[in-house]
Amino acid sequence: MQKFNSLLRKPFQFLHFPRLNYFSQVQRYEFLNYKQVGSVGVIQINRPTKFNALSKEVTNEINDIFLALDKEDSIGAIVLTGHKDFFASGADILEMKDETYPDTYMKQLHAHWNNISQIKKPIIGAVSGYALGGGCIYALLCDIVVAGNNSKIGVPAIALSIIPICGSTQSLPHLVGKSRAMEIFLTGSPMSASEAQKIGLVNYVYETDKVIDEAIRIGEKISKYSKPIVKMAKECVINSFDLPLSEGLNYEKRMFWSTFAMKDQKEGMTAFIEKREAKFIDS
């Protein structure tokens, strides 16, 4: 909290987005900034006076924009980021403090936080500063995570006498193993970006001012490939968490065979043989 108080006295400086244009089909949001770089959609959580706390309004806006971008043909990958000192500080505790069980049940409180796990396009998390509670969970929902070396990542829900949500208690053990998941959830202690990288929560660690550019670079690389094939590959990986191994293997084989019905498969292999760059048409 002392760190947060010191941040309040600093001017808020949001990460710089180079050569960006507004995405014409996405409405303006109260708590989000959105811009497009090439084929990459960049979403920035923008609630600085609350350290990007994830209120109901913020999470609704995040869900809405992800659903819109998933349907937009010009977007091949999505980057989710925040302030350089805090990706997101967790759920809005003031909003939740006086809730009762009947209220949370009837309103399905935060039941839709993990809707972005249903997005078929690749999602790259660009995490700097604090990614706590819901902020950490949003990072877990991303497919690839690029973190700043100033990052502090953790789930301190236990200190609030609640448990983590968005399926994190189910997914995290698959990612880091039972013992590390237990440590993360039961101690609530945040870890550094380098620690998170060692256990597989983070792919890359960079200087803070390079995080956005590196996340966009990854998104641009992915966006050059056939969009339907990228979606198929992501879908196979996601299904590996839910399907028994035998069913997952069968699913993968069927998806592999289906790629041979696509023009992009013919173009990709022909370009490889001819030693030229492929020109995919997403068909």
For the segment 123-138, what is each residue's pLDDT rounded down to a tens digit? Answer: 999 999 999 998 999 9
Asked whether residue 28 carries a pLDDT value surpassing 90, the answer given is: no
Write phi, then psi, for 222 (nearest 5 degrees). Answer: -65, -40
Band (107; pLDDT cuts 50, 70, 90): confident
Query: Which SS3 state, helix, strand or coil, does residue 210 take?
Result: helix
* Locus of tokens 């939740």: 96
Asked whether residue 16 carries a pLDDT value surpassing 60, the answer given is: no
- Taking only the tens place, the pLDDT of each residue in 36-52 is 999 999 999 999 999 99
Query: Which SS3 state, helix, strand or coil, does residue 194 take?
Result: helix
Q: Give the range among 13-22, 82-91, 194-203 with minimum mean pLDDT.
A: 13-22
Topology of domain 227-273, CATH: Lyase 2-enoyl-coa Hydratase; Chain  A, domain 2 (1.10.12)
Write phi, then psi, for 219 (nearest 5 degrees). Answer: -60, -40
Write phi, then psi, for 114 (nearest 5 degrees). Answer: -90, 20
Domains 2-223 and 227-273 fall in the same CATH topology: no
CA–CA gap between residue 12 and residue 35 (Å, rounded) = 19
CA–CA gap between residue 27 and residue 13 (Å, rounded) = 23
Asked whether residue 165 carries a pLDDT value surpassing 50, the answer given is: yes
Specify the pLDDT at position 15.
43
Structure tokens at 55: 């209120």
Structure tokens at 2: 């002392």
Band (3; pLDDT cuts 50, 70, 90): low
Looking at the chain, the whole-number percentage of residues with pLDDT higher than 70 is 90
Return mean pLDDT, the chain: 88
Amino acid in position 219: G
Specify the pLDDT at position 228.
95
Asked whether residue 96 carries a pLDDT value surpassing 70, the answer given is: yes
Band (13; pLDDT cuts 50, 70, 90): very low
- Nearest partner of 157 among 199, 195, 113, judged by Cα: 113
CA–CA gap between residue 57 and residue 21 (Å, rounded) = 25
Topology of domain 2-223, CATH: 2-enoyl-CoA Hydratase; Chain A, domain 1 (3.90.226)
Structure tokens at 248: 């997952």
Per DSSP, 14 falls in state P
Asked whether residue 85 carries a pLDDT value surpassing 60, the answer given is: yes
CA–CA gap between residue 59 and residue 85 (Å, rounded) = 20
The Cβ of residue 154 has, within 10 Å, a number of other Cβ atoms equal to: 22
Helices assigned H by DSSP within the chain:
2-8, 56-70, 93-96, 101-107, 134-141, 168-176, 178-187, 193-198, 211-223, 227-239, 245-258, 263-273
Query: How is the chain split into domains, by residue range?
Result: 2-223, 227-273
Query: Which SS3 state, helix, strand or coil, does residue 212 take?
Result: helix
Looking at the chain, the whole-number percentage of residues with pLDDT higher than 90 is 69
Structure tokens at 31: 């708590």
